[in-house]
Structure 1
Amino acid sequence: MGKYEKDARDLLAAIGGKENVSAVTHCATRMRFVLVDPKKADQSKIENIPVVKGMFTNAGQFQVIIGNDVPVFYADFTAISGISGVSKEDAKSVAKQNQNPVQRVITLLAEIFTPLLPAIIVGGLILGFRNILEGVQFGFLGNQTIVAVSPFWNGVNGFLWLPGEAIFHFLPVGITWSITRKMGATEILGIVLGITLVSPQLLNAYAVNGTSAADIAKNWSWDFGFFQVAKIGYQAQVIPAMMAGFLLVYLERFFRKRIPEAVSMIFVPFFSLLPTIIAAHTVLGPIGWKIGSGISWIVNAGLESPLNWLFGGVFGAVYAPLVITGLHHTTLAIDSQLIADFGSTNLWPMICLSNIAQGAAVLAIVIAHRGNKKEEQISVPSVISAWLGVTEPAMFGINLKYVYPFVAAMIGSGLAGMFITIMKVRANAIGVGGLPGILAIKNNLGVGKGTGAQGYVIFLIAMGIAIVVPIVLTLFFRKAGIFNKIDRAEQAIPVTLDEIDAQVSTEAVVNATVAAGTKTAIVAPLTGELLPLAQAKDPVFAQGTMGQGVVIEPSEGKLVAPFDGQVTLLFPTKHAIGLVSDTGVEVLIHVGLDTVELDGKGFMTHVAQGDRVKQGQLLLEVDLNVIKEAGYATQTPVIVTNSADFQVDPKAEKQAIKAGDKVITVTHR
C-alpha cells in the first residue's frame, strides 16, 4: 500500500471521480487538475483530507497544495486512479478549454502585459505626479501651475518626461517584445518592430489630429512615385502594436519551417520583419485609426443627443475598456473641440471618474487580499497611480486579472458618469485626471447658475459614487462568485509561484528515534538580509502553508548547507533544494521566486540528490544578476516543511546575516 493511497482515493472521490479529470500533473508543491466540471469538486471534503494544505483555482486549473511529498502523492494518485499524467504545459493547454472566448482574450492580454507591469507602474506614478505639477492651477499661486512659478519644479517636471515618454509613448516596443517572448519568436525582432512604430521619423500619434491631410501628404509621407504611404507613428497605441506583433510571430514560424537551416539566420528574420513593418504602416495601423475614428464619431453623437444622460452612463462604463485598446487617446480631440466650441467639456469629468473607479476597485482587492505582500507591490502603487489619472497599472496588474473588480469599476464609473451628466458638470481643461481632476471643474454648473462651490460639491459626490460603488460591488462579487471564477472568498488567494515538475524520491533518510527536546540549529545558507517569513513575496510561503521558516534577500550567490544531513530533493532547474538533517528536520530552500522559468540559467550545482553534506558545504552557486535581469525576485525562503513535528523558533527581526549564522532553532516535540 502506498504512503498516501487512502488520501489519494479520498481526493479522487472528492474531485468528482476519474471521469471528471481531463488532465493532471504536479509541480514542486501542488497537484494541478484540469476538471471537466469544476463544480463537482467538493472543497469541504478536500480540506478534510490530512495531506491537503490548501487549494485554489487559477487559469483553468484546480490546484491542491500537498507540499514536498507531492511526487510520492502523485505516484499513489496515478496508481489508484489509472490516470496518466501530462506535462505542465500540456495541462495548461487543456485548462484553456475551460475558458470562454472572453476569458481567453483576457488571459492573453494578461500574459502580454505582465512582463511590462514594473515599467507601467513606475510610469503611472511619474505621469500622475506630472499631472499635478503642470496641469493644476492653484488659487494660492495666483491661479497658476506649480511649474509656472517654480523654476525648480519646472526642471523636475521636464526631467520626469524622459522616463514617462520612454514608458508610455514607446509602449508598442514593449508590447511587440512581450508577444515575441511569450510565443517563442525572436525577441530582438519584436523590439525592432516596435521601434519602427514609434520612430522619430514618423508623425507623432498625438499630433495627427492637429495635422491637416495636405500637410501629412506633403511632409509626412513616403513617396514611391505612383503611391504614397503616410508616416504615422503609433505612440502609446496597443491594437496596431499587438496586430503587428502577432503577424511577426506567425510569419517567423511560417518561414522557419520552409527555409533551410543553413541560411535561416539570414532569411527568416528578413522575410518576417520587413513584410510585417510594411503591413503595420499600410494596413494594420490605418485599421487602428479607423476604429478610433468610429469610436470618436459615436462619442460625439452621444454628447449632442437628447439622451446625453444615457451616454454619460454608457461612456462612463466603457471608457476603461477603451484604455485597454489605447483608443482612449481619440477622446482628446473631442475634448479639445468641445472646449473650443463651448468653453468647457462634459467628457473629461467622466474620464476622471473612470480613473477613480478603477483605483477604488483595486483598493477593494487590497482589502480582500490583505496580507498578500507580493500582490501589494502591484496593487498599492496601482491605486495611487489610478487616483492620479493613469489606470493602466490598475487594470492590467489587478482588475483584468480577476475580472470582477474591472466590472465593478465599470458599473461605478457608469453611475457616476450618469450623475454628473444629469447635473451638467463640465471641465474647463483637460489633462488632470483622477482625484486632482476636481481642480479642472468649471466654476458654474450652468450659465447663470450656481457657484464654483456647487460645481465642486457635485463632483465630490460623483467621486464618492465612483469610490464606494466599486468597493462594495467588488467585495460582493468576490463573495457571491459573480464575474469571478478564480478568486472566491472561501478559497485561498491565487498565487503566481510556478514550480517545475519533479519526479524525485522523498523516502525518509532518518530512521533513528530522536529524543524529545533535541534541538537542531539551522544556519543561514546565504549571506544577505534576513526577513520574517510573513514578508515573503509569495503567499504560499508568507502564510506558512508550506511550513515555518525565514526569508533571505541574498547579497551573494553562494548557497551552503544549513546543517549536517542529506540532499533529498534537487530540481532539474536547480532553483530549489530539499535537505533533511541528521535529527529529521526537513528543509526546503527555494532560490528566488518564479526562477523555475529560468530553466537552470544562472545556477550551478555542486552536489547531487542523495549526497551527504556537512554544514557550510557549498551546495550551489547562483548568479543573482541573471535572476534580477530576468525580472524575478531573488528573495529566498528557507522553510521547515515538517514543522508540525517540531517547535520552530526563527529569528523574527529584520537584520543583516552571513552564511553560517544561526537563523532558526528547531526543537523536537
Structure 2
Amino acid sequence: MSKYTESAKELLELVGGSENISVVTHCATRMRFVLVDTKAADEKRIEQLDIVKGTFTQAGQFQVIVGNEVATFYNEFVKIAGVGDSSKDEAKQAAKQNMNILQRLVGHLADIFTPLIPALVVGGLILGFRNVIGEIEMFNGGTQTLVQISQFWAGVNDFLWLIGEAIFHFLPVGITWAIARKMGTTQILGIVLGITLVSPQLLNAYGVASADQIPVWDFGFAQVEMIGYQAQVIPAILAGFVLSFLELRLRKIIPSVISMIFVPFFALVPAVLVAHVILGPIGWTIGSAISDVVYTGLTSAFGWLFAAIFGFAYAPLVITGLHHMTNAIDLQLMSEFGGTNLWPMIALSNIAQGSAVLAMIYLNRKDKKEQQVSVPASISCYLGVTEPAMFGINLKYGFPFLAAMIGSMCAAVISVGSNVMANSIGVGGIPGILSIQVQYMLIFAIAMAVAIAVPFILTVIFSKTKMGVNAYKRLGKL
C-alpha cells in the first residue's frame, strides 16, 4: 500500500467519486479535474486533507494543489479511481464545457503565450543582466560601466544580445508556431510563416519610421511594401490563425492521397500573402492603438488612478486567468516604446502576495504544518510564481489576499507616478528589478519596499481585528 493510498481514496470521495470525473491530469504542483458536476466537490473538506495545500477553479478546471509530490500522488489516485490517463490538451478541451466566451478567448491567449514563457523568462533575465553590466555606471567614480572597463564583459554583453534578439525581435516565429501547435496544424509551416514576417530581406520594423524609402514587391498591377514585423504580436497572431484556418479547411477538401503536396502549398502561400498585404498593416495599427492607449493612460495626469485600479485588481485577474492578456500588451509596449510601464506593476503584485504570506509565516510561526506550505510558497512568490502563495495561503484565509492587493495598489501608484519603465518582461517578483531601466531602479526599489512592508503590516493588523476579514467578505460579494 502506498503512503498516498488513504489520501487518494479520501480525495476521490470528496470530488464526487469516479463517475463525477470527466478528465483528470496534473501539472508541476496541481491535480487538474474536469468534473461533470462541479458542485459535487466538497472544497472545504478537500482543503482539510493533509496532502492538499489549497484548491481553486480556473479555466473550467477544478485544481487541487498537492505540491512537488503530485506526480506520485496522481499515479496512485488514477489507479484507485479507475479513470483513464489524459493529456493536458484533452483536459483543456473537456474543460471548455464549463467556460463562457470570454474565458475561452482568454484560454486561447494562454495557450499561445504559455509555451513561450520559458523563452520570455530567459530573455528577461538576459536583458536584465545586460542592463546591469552595460548601463549602470558603478566604476571610476560612477562614470563607467562594467562593459566599458572590461573587454571580457563587453564580449559577454554582445554575445548575450544574440539570444535576447532571437527571443524578442523574432517573437512572431514563436507565436505562429504556438498557434499551429494549439490548432493541431503543421508546426513547421507555422515556423516558416513566422520567419517570413521577420526575414532579413524585409525592412526592419524598427527602421520604418526613419526610412527614406520603403522597398516593395512590384507585381506590375500592384505593389506590396516589404515591411518586417519584428517584435509585433497582433500581426503574428492574425497570420497564425489564418494559416491554421486554411490548412484545416483544405484538409477537408483535398483528397488525402495528394494532401501532402497541395495542403501545405495552398495554405502557406496565401497565408504569407494575406499577412503582408492585409493582416500585417491591420495588426500593426491595432497593436499601436492598444499600446498608445495603455501608455497614454499610464503617463497621463490620471495615470495614478489607472495604476491604483490595476495594482489592486491584478491578483484577482490571475484567479480568473485574464492576466494572460497583459502578456500581449506588454510585448506590444516594448515594441512601440522600447520598454513597458505595465510589467513593473505585475512584478510588484508578485512581491505583495509573497509579503502577505511572509506575515502569515510570522503569525503561524509555531504551526509546523502551516510552515511546510507557507515558507516555500513565499519564496516562490518572491521569485515570480504566485500560485502556491495565492491559492495555498492568501485566498484560504482571505484577509492576507486583501492586504496584498492593497500593498500592490500602493506600490503600483509609486511606480507609475514615477514613470518607471522595464526593458523586458519575464522576470517577476524581486528579481524583476533587473529588468527595470537603470534611471528608475532606485524608485522601483522604494516601490518594492512598499510592496513588502504594507501587505506584511496590514496582514498582521487584519489578523488581530475583524476589519480585514469583513472587508474581504464584502469585496467577495461585489
Which TM-score band (shorter chain)?
0.5 to 0.7
- Paired with 1:318 and 1:127, the residues of 2 have a C-alpha distance of 28
Q: How far off is 1:35 after superposition?
A: 3.4
Contact 2:173–2:191 (8 Å) recurs in 1: yes
Alpha carbons of structure 1 residues 25 and 426: separation in structure 2 relative to 1, 3 Å: closer
Amino acid at match of 1:24: S
Kept in 1, the 8 Å contact 2:8–2:76? The answer is no
Secondary structure of residue in 1 paired with 2:82: helix
DSSP 3-state at the match of 1:222? strand
Partner of 2:261: 266
- Can you list the C-alpha shifts for 1:232-290, whole angstroms capped at 9, x where unaligned? 22222332222222221121110011111221111100111111111222222222221
Q: Does residue 449 of structure 2 align to residue 464 of structure 1?
A: yes
In the alignment, is the contact (CA less than 8 A) between 2:176 and 2:193 conserved in 1? yes
Give the structure 1 partner of residue 242 of structure 2. Answer: 247
Residue deviations 1:525-553 (CA, integer Å, cap 9, x gap): xxxxxxxxxxxxxxxxxxxxxxxxxxxxx
59, 74, 79: which one aligns with 2:82: 74
In 2, distance between residues paired with 1:473 and 1:406? 10
Q: What RMSD in Å do the two structures reach over aligned CA positions?
A: 5.3
Partner SS, residue 219 of structure 1: coil
* Cα deviation digits, residues 442-481 of structure 1 (max 9, x gap): 9xxxxxxxxxxxxx5x6543332345568899999xx989
Residue in structure 2 matching 1:357, options 348, 366, 370: 348
The CA deviation at 1:40 is: 3.8
> Distance between the aligned counterparts of 1:143 and 1:432, measured in 2?
25
If you compute each CA radius of gyration, which structure gives the higher value, 1 or 2? 1
- TM-score by length of structure 1 reads 0.49
Residue 38 (structure 2) pairs with residue 38 (structure 1): yes
d(CA) in 2 for partners of 1:201, 1:409: 49
The structure with more helix, counted as a fraction of residues: 2
Cα pair distance change 1:166/1:46, threshold 3 Å:
closer
Q: Which structure 2 residue ranges, 5 or more long, are not aligned?
A: 1-6, 65-72, 315-322, 362-369, 426-431, 463-468
2:337 aligns with 332
Alignment of 1:130 onto 2:130: yes
- Kept in 2, the 8 Å contact 1:32–1:61? The answer is yes
- Is the CA contact (8 Å cut-off) linking 1:234 and 1:285 kept in structure 2? yes
Partners of 1:66 and 1:315 in 2: CA distance: 37
Choose from 258, 271, 274 the match for 1:276.
271
Partner secondary structure for residue 229 of structure 1: strand
TM-aligned CA distance change 1:306 to 1:221, over 3 Å: same
8 Å contact kept, 1:176–1:244: yes
Q: Helix, strand or coil: the match of 2:224? A: strand
Match of 1:291 among 271, 286, 305: 286
Amino acid at match of 1:74: G
Shift, 1:230, TM fit: 2.4
Question: Which of 211, 226, 234 does residue 229 from structure 2 map onto?
Answer: 234
Determine the structure 2 residue equivalent to 1:169.
169
The residue type equivalent to 1:154 in the other structure is A
Following the alignment from structure 1 to structure 2, what is the Cα–Cα distance between the partners of residues 45 and 426? 46
> Distance between the aligned counterparts of 1:410 and 1:179, measured in 2?
33
Question: Which residue of structure 1 lines up, in the alignment, with residue 94 of structure 2?
Answer: 94
Following TM superposition, by how much is the alpha carbon of 1:110 offset from its aligned partner in structure 2, in angstroms?
3.5
Go from structure 1 to structure 2 and tell me whether the alpha carbon gap of 1:257 and 1:47 turns closer, same or farther (over 3 Å shift): same
Partner of 1:198: 198
Aligned partner of 2:155: which letter? Answer: G
Work out the CA distance in 2 between the residues paired with 1:383 and 1:187: 35
Amino acid at match of 2:108: L
> 1:385-432: per-residue Cα shift (whole Å, max 9, x none)?
x7xxxxxxx699999xxxx9999999766543433666xx467x9859
Within 5 Å, give how 1:400-419 maps onto structure 2: 415-419=410-414
- TM-score, normalised by the number of residues in structure 2: 0.66
Instruction: Provide the C-alpha distance between the structure 1 equivalents of 2:163 and 2:129, rounded to a whole number of angstroms.
Output: 13
Q: Which amino acid aligns with 1:151?
A: Q
Count of residues in Structure 1 that have an aligned counterpart in Structure 2: 411
1:185 partner amino acid: T
2:320 matched residue in structure 1: none
What's the CA shift for 1:189?
0.7
Residues of 1 paired with 2:76 and 2:451: CA distance?
46
Q: 1:331 to 1:235 in 2, by over 3 A?
A: closer
Which whole-Å CA distance do the structure 2 matches of 1:306 and 1:416 have between them? 18
Give the 3-state SS of the residue equivalent to 1:235 in structure 2. Answer: coil
Shift of 1:314: 6.0
| Letter of the 2:447 counterpart | A
**Is 2:120 the partner of 1:120?**
yes
- Within a 5 Å distance, the mapping from 1:499-510 to structure 2 comes to none
- Residue 159 (structure 1) shift: 0.9
Distance 2:274 2:387 in 1: 27
Q: State how 1:200-219 maps to structure 2 within 5 Å.
A: 200-208=200-208, 210-212=209-211, 215=212, 218-219=213-214
Q: Once the two structures are superposed, what CA deviation does each residue of 1:561-611 show, in whole Å capped at 9, x if it has no partner?
A: xxxxxxxxxxxxxxxxxxxxxxxxxxxxxxxxxxxxxxxxxxxxxxxxxxx
Structure 1 residue aligned with 2:439: 440
Report how far residue 9 of structure 1 moved. Answer: 11
The structure whose RCO (Cα within 8 Å, separation 6+) is larger is: 2
Which amino acid is the alignment partner of residue 279 of structure 1?
V
The question of whether the paired residues in 2 share the 8 Å contact of 1:170 and 1:198 is answered with: yes
User: Mapping of 1:22-33 within 5 angstroms?
Assistant: 24-25=22-23
CA distance in 1, matches of 2:44, 2:37: 17
Residues 329, 304 of structure 1: alpha-carbon distance in 2 compared, 3 angstrom cutoff: closer
> Retained in 2: the 8 A contact 1:136–1:432?
no
Residue type of the alignment partner of 2:228: G
Partners of 2:333 and 2:387 in 1: CA distance: 15
Q: SS at 1:94's partner residue?
A: helix
The 1:195/1:151 distance shift into structure 2, 3 A limit, reads same
Whole-angstrom distance in 1 between the partners of 2:297 and 2:177: 37
How far the C-alpha of 1:154 sits from its partner, in A, is 1.2
How is 1:473-552 mapped onto 2 (pairs within 5 angstroms)? none
Conservation of the 8 A alpha-carbon contact between 2:423 and 2:437: no
How big is each residue's C-alpha offset from its partner over 1:183-231, in whole Å with a ceiling of 9 and x where there is no partner?
A: 22111111111111111112223333x425xx3xx33332333433222
CA distance 1:135–1:354, change in 2 (3 Å): farther
Maintained 8 Å contact 1:33/1:63:
yes
Gaps of 5+ in 1: 1-6, 76-84, 336-347, 387-393, 443-455, 485-669
Give the whole-Å Cα distance in 2 for the aligned partners of 1:397 and 1:67.
Answer: 21
Contact 2:172 2:236 in 1 (8 A): yes
Distance 1:352 1:133, change over 3 A: farther
Contact 2:24–2:34 (CA under 8 A) maintained in structure 1: no
Rounded to whole Å, the distance in 2 between the matches of 1:136 and 1:25 is 51
Counterparts of 1:474 and 1:172, CA distance in 2: 43
Question: CA-to-partner distance for each residue in 1:89-136, whole Å, 9 max, x for gaps?
Answer: 766533222234444344333333343343333222211101112222
Change (3 A) 1:416 1:225: farther
Alignment partner, residue 144 of structure 2:
144
Give, as a single letter, the amino acid of the residue that structure 2 aligns with 1:360: I
Distance apart, 1:169 and its partner CA: 1.7
Instruction: Tell me the equivalent position of 1:608.
Output: none
% identical aligned pairs? 47
Amino acid at match of 2:433: L
Alpha-carbon distance in 2 for matches of 1:186, 1:114:
19
